[in-house]
Amino acid sequence: MILSLPSLIGWSLVSVAVAVASGLYPSMKAARLEPLETLRLG
């Protein structure tokens, strides 16, 4: 099985986008919380 360069670049971009989204969503959600409220819930 031989991978073509365009498909390799495309899937690399998809994996980077998924990684950024999965890191960004929880951090944005946590940034909206009050620090003391977070410690109380944790």
**Rounded CA separation 25/15 (Å):** 16
Phi-psi region of 2 (alpha: psi -120 to 50; beta: other; left: phi over 0): beta
Compute and round to an integer the Cα radius of gyration of the chain: 18
pTM above 0.75, yes or no: no
> What pLDDT, in 10s, does the model give residues 1-40?
788 999 999 999 999 999 999 999 888 988 888 888 777 7
Alpha helices in the chain (DSSP H): 5-31, 35-41
Supply the pLDDT for residue 41: 67
Supply the pLDDT for residue 42: 59
